[in-house]
Structure formats: C-alpha cells, structure tokens
Structure 1
Amino acid sequence: MGINRRTLITGAAAIGAAALALPQTAAASPKVSPQLASSKKRLTGVDMPPSQRWQVGGTDLGIAYLLENNSVGFLFGDTFNTRWYNDPPLPNDWRSPVMLRSNIHPGDPGGIVFDSAAMVAGDGRAPEITYNGHNGSDGAGTFEVTVIPNDAVAFPDGTHVMSYMSIAQWYNDVNIQWRTNYAGLAISHDGNSFQRTPTVWWNDGSNTDPFQMWTMQRDGDWVYIFSVRAGRQTGPMMLRRVPVNSMFDSGAYQGWGWNGTNWDWGRPCTSILPESRFGEPSVRRLNDGTWVMSYLNGGSGSIVTRRADGPDKAWTDENVQVTQLQQPAIYGGFIHPYSSSAPNDLHLLVSRWPQINGQSFAYDVTQWVGSV
C-alpha cells in the first residue's frame, strides 16, 4: 500500500505549562492529580470480536460520540483486516473512516461491547463511511493520502456532522509532522453514510493552521470546537463556537479571544492553553456540567486530562492518566461521553501505534478507567 503513517513523537521533558500560563489558565484552582488510569479491556485487534464480525482488525483512533438515540458511535481512522497497516497478507482491506456502535455503558463490569457497524445490516464487512481518496484525488483534484476522522456530533433529528482531516502527507525522514490539505465537514442524515461537503478549512503552506485537528461538543444552541495544528506540532489550542444550525457556514464561527484585558467571543482566536505539542484533542461535557479535555502531551508522551466549569472557563493543570510505561506507543486518548466526574468513572479510549523503534505492538484501542 505504501502509506507512511503517523509516528509517535515524544521527548524527555514535558512543556513547562506553569511558566507559560495565559490569563485563561491563571484562574484555574489547583487540583491534586488522581491516581493513574488503569487498563480495563482491549476493544480491537485481529483476535477480538470486531475482527470476526466486521473485519475490523488493526485500528486507528476510536473516537466516541453520543448518538441521537443515546447509543454511542466509535470512529476509527485507517482500519485493516490485519494486525496493522503493512501486515500481510496484502492487500489488507484499508478503510477509513469506519464506525462501530455500542449501547453498553462503559462502567458495566464487562466494559464496552460493540453491537453494530455503520452501513452494515448485522454481521459483515464494515466499509468506510465517507469518500476517501486513498493516495488519489479527494474528488476535487487535490491529492489525498487518506481521510482521518476528528470527531462528530449528532442531533435529535438524526443528522450527524463529522469533522475530518484530508491528509496530504504522513511523517517521513524529512518531515517530522504529518501534513493536511484541510479539515472538512461531512454530513449524514441516517447515521450511517456521510457525504463530504464544501465546508473546509485549508491548511497553510507552513502546516501551522491551528484549525486542523478538531473535537466538538454540543451544549444548548451551540457547538463548541477545540482545535490544534496537524501533526502534533508545538502550537496553540483554539476555541470557537457555532450555532447548531449554522455548522456549514464558515462565517458563523465565533472565536474566543483575549485582547490584553479580557476574554470574549467574536474575536480572533487566542490560545486557551500554553502552547504545547498537542495530540488529537477530545472534549466532552459530562452530565454534571463538568467539561473534560484529553490529549496526548507530545513532550511527555502521556495521555493527560484537564477539566473546567465550561468551555470558555479556566482549565485546570494537566492530570496524567496513561503513561508510556503503562502502555508503550500510545498516541490518542478519547473520552467516552458516558464518563462522569465520580471517582474511577472517566472512560478513555486509548490508541496504540504498531511499531516504534523496531519494537512491534498491536494496532488497537483499549478502554482505560481513571478519575477526572
């Protein structure tokens, strides 16, 4: 297949967040870090039920979002019927994005169990749910390596909106971050197949546009979007919001910005956190109103969380949830929407990269349990 996939980039020391704190974080009350999260259950892999039922073996990501019927959809990026992307026998049925579903509460003793796959009636091969150029055209003349989901939001009328990245180039020996063409929106009216729309945010020539990797959370009449640069580069964490009925109008998005005196909506975005090497962000509003953010800290290589009283409120310092010592080669941690702020009720879907420094690992997703 010849695709160059993302690499895990970690360093010896974490970013010094306290020394770089912006006014948005200065008001955050200190919080004692909880114990590290613990592994509960591996969810994907060639030896797991999704492989037998839907040919979903090696998987990327595992982004959980609440569906309109209160079930949960799980979005996977590059997916294969083998252990990982270059594992024989080739071709190994490369697909992305793929969606599985579950109506099991993650806190149940047996953990998350997938019960269906998008675009599949019963058992059978789970196809990709939107168009993917697969080392070809994106459908409009731009070369596209693959399409990777960012997040999705579902509405009561059954409409789903998915944010995705159109990948221009993966990591190689010259480029230390992957590059995107753009971040775009796709729509579904049945919760199964998604159509890509003309609403896109193009990356810039220096690969530094801060609106490429998204996470989205609906709250009332607004959808709040947190975004960072592609490739886990050092950069800002931006916050925007858009009315729920205007997601495909790029002019309706409002930035959250600092003018030197105060924060307000409708301004150019200002980073809500000290610049860092942010991995894919995941933000969810819990049932008690607490907002929780998760991401890979590219400096320490750990999955960390922060919490806040609202999307535009001050965020606490990082809490370390999962480290490379606990599970090597981790790169994504996504919050299950049924998590709560009760002790040991934060449920994270943690992805693992298959090969690092000559060592082989599974390309899979594991459910971890921690505390906000």
Structure 2
Amino acid sequence: MKPGFKVKDLTGPGHTDRFGIGGTDLGATTTAPDGRLVSVFGDTFRRPTVGGPGWRSPVALFGDPDTVHTGLEWTGSAGPGDYAAQLLRYRHNLRYEGRRVTTKLPTDVLRVGEALYLHAMVCRELGTVHWTELHCSTDNGVTWEPTGTRWPGDHHDGLFQMLTWERGGDGYVYAFTTGFQRAHGLILHRVPEGEVTDTGAWESWGLSDGRWSWGVPPTLVLPGRFGELSLRHVEGRLLLCAFDDGNYRMDVVALDSPTADLHVAPRATVLHGCNWPDEDHARGRVAQLYGGYILPGSTLTELNLVVSQWNTATNWPYRSMQFRADVSALVT
C-alpha cells in the first residue's frame, strides 16, 4: 500500500493568521448540526511558534465540508469576530482545586443529536493529567459549557486520558482510550448515546473467566505505546487511526465492529516518522509527527487526516496539516 501524501498546511502563516493563530496543533474534527466542520485544536499562539502572546487552548475553527477533497478551507472560528478564542473558561498556570493547571487539551469531539461533546484533559505539563472532563455545545460549536462530567487522571490505571469515540449505530457510543504518556496500549468502553455525561453509564470491555464481556474491568485490546487516536465511520466501515509512538508511525486499522480483535484486524501504515533531514511529505515521511484525525467526508480511497508536527528544537514548524491516503485495500 502506498503511503499517504500531504495535501496542504491547515494552520500557520498564510492559513490561519486572520484567526489569531500562528502556531497550533491537533485538530480533532466532527460535523456540526448545521453542516459545517468543527475542528478543535490544542495549545495555540498568535505567532508561528510555541510560546509568546495569545496562548489559549482549546480553540475551534469551522471548515467548509465541500473543500475536504481539494484541501480544507476555513470559514470562521469560535470567538468574537474572526479571533479564535479559548473555548473553555480557565486561565493557564493557575491553581484549581489545589492543583496547578497548565493547560486543557482536547482529545476528541463528537456529535450526538443536536449536541457536540468535547473531551478534554486537564494537565499539569504535557503527560501529567489531573482529570478529564466533558463540555457541550448546543450552538454548532460556537460556545461551550461544562457538563460537570469528569474522571480522575488515574481512572482505569491512567488509561482513560487520551480518548477517541464514535457512535456505533446501535444506540451506543464506543471509545478507545489510553494514557497521555505515549507509553501504553488501548482499552475499549461504551456508553448509551443518551447517557454520555453519566459516568456511571460507561462500561468497559474486558476478559472475565476467560471470556470477553462488557461491564468488567478493562483488558488491553491492543498493547503498545500509543498517542493520539481517531475512530470514525468511513463509507460504512469503522476505521481507527492511531499514532503508534512505539514504532514511530501512523496506522489505520479497519474494524468489523468496535469489539473486533485488533491483533488481527487489517492494518496499514499511512505515515512514517523520520528525522528532519529525511522529511518527504510527498512520500509520507514526516518529522516529529503526531495527531492523525480523520476528516468527515473522507472515503476509503481518499482518507483525509489532520496531522501535526512540532519541531521541539526550534518550535517551528508547530502546525497541523492535511494528509491523504488510500486505505481501500484494507476492506477488499
């Protein structure tokens, strides 16, 4: 299978200046009830760098769904005027409940009915999560309110921090989760669509008495060292895109169902990590890559991903980009 290739830069100079965004990353995306795409980004700054003025997280941009196949175009942002404002009410580097909160980072956004739900990690520095929480928007992603739903950072031994979720078509939302340290495997959960904000309604998938079942302590469904995740239906097939930090690559897995055996499910590597001198975005080689969020409107032959990179030595590039790959061979 051919590797993916870069379609365009999505953020940075010449792309998001009018929204007050120079440097940002991530970009989990869903479709709002009004049809626009809503992409949620992490730590954001006015200049094309990490640090400096205009620090906020998360922020949201609205995209034109008709432009996904030619290169996603932004039509607006959540904020006053064109300025992409911080979606959640808090201040960086203050103490909340006796603990210093550096930032709040989005993991995934999901539409259920007329509401959008955002799962976010409340962090003290990267990799340290105090707790995770849910926020809800009922105006197509323009404003967000806390639902009061939260999980401690050590929930399920710290493997309920980084999350991706998708409606299963059977009345449940399914979620794969892992830790924020890029050092752990994946576990699986489900919750009735109408009870997403009820922590007691969530149940995990695990081995009990030699059988897999719901409502038992979770068992790893895939060992490894994973980072960002994206679970989405594409042309009727359930795909999981995962940043595999252990192998420094981005993989897409085709699932027959949310409980499919990930050890044997069809898998393809769509992007490879590399050193900076070896970059080749036309051939799927990306230095310091992460992210990998599936864009709505993707097809199996044109799977569009929002991919991040951050040169931690120079703090630029620090951006999100659109890549495309053909994963149709996974389902033939």
Superposition TM-score, scaled by structure 2 size: 0.88
Aligned to 2:147: 197
Deviation at 1:260, TM superposition (A): 5.0
Counterpart check, 1:286 vs 2:241: no
Deviation at 1:150, TM superposition (A): 0.8
Aligned to 1:69: 34
Aligned to 2:277: none
Aligned to 1:79: 44
Q: Secondary structure at the match of 2:113?
A: coil
Tell me which of 136, 139, 161 is aligned to 2:94: 136
Aligned to 1:262: 211
Q: 1:106·1:347 contact (CA, 8 Å) conserved in 2?
A: no
Deviation at 1:70, TM superposition (A): 2.9
Aligned to 1:15: none
Deviation at 1:95, TM superposition (A): 0.8
Aligned counterparts of 2:234 and 2:93: Cα–Cα separation in 1: 39
Tell me which of 257, 267, 276 is aligned to 1:310: 257
Tell me which of 284, 289, 299 is aligned to 1:340: 299
Deviation at 1:367, TM superposition (A): 0.5
Aligned to 1:351: 308
Aligned counterparts of 1:359 and 1:195: Cα–Cα separation in 2: 36
Counterpart check, 1:300 vs 2:259: no
Segments of 4+ in structure 1 off by > 6 A? none
Tell me which of 226, 237, 240 is aligned to 2:176: 226
Q: 2:24·2:45 contact (CA, 8 Å) conserved in 1?
A: yes
Aligned counterparts of 1:348 and 1:94: Cα–Cα separation in 2: 25
Query: CA 1:260/1:48 → structure 2, altered by over 3 Å: closer, same or farther?
Result: farther
Aligned counterparts of 1:41 and 1:81: Cα–Cα separation in 2: 20
Superposition TM-score, scaled by structure 1 size: 0.79
Q: 1:185·1:199 contact (CA, 8 Å) conserved in 2?
A: yes
Deviation at 1:361, TM superposition (A): 3.7
Q: 1:336·1:349 contact (CA, 8 Å) conserved in 2?
A: yes
Q: Deviations over 1:330-357 (max 9, x none)?
A: 121111122222x2x11111001132xx
Which structure carries more strand by proportion? 2
Aligned counterparts of 1:189 and 1:271: Cα–Cα separation in 2: 34
Q: Secondary structure at the match of 1:245?
A: helix
The number of equivalent residue pairs is 313
Identity %: 28
Q: Deviations over 1:309-337 (max 9, x none)?
A: 12112332542111123121112111112
Aligned to 1:366: 321
Q: Secondary structure at the match of 1:115?
A: strand
RMSD after superposition: 1.9
Q: 1:96·1:132 contact (CA, 8 Å) conserved in 2?
A: no
Q: 1:39·1:369 contact (CA, 8 Å) conserved in 2?
A: yes
Counterpart check, 1:103 vs 2:52: no
User: Which runs of 5 or more residues in structure 2 are unaligned?
Assistant: 275-284, 328-332
Q: 1:84·1:354 contact (CA, 8 Å) conserved in 2?
A: no
Deviation at 1:43, TM superposition (A): 0.7
Aligned counterparts of 2:245 and 2:153: Cα–Cα separation in 1: 21
Counterpart check, 1:41 vs 2:1: no
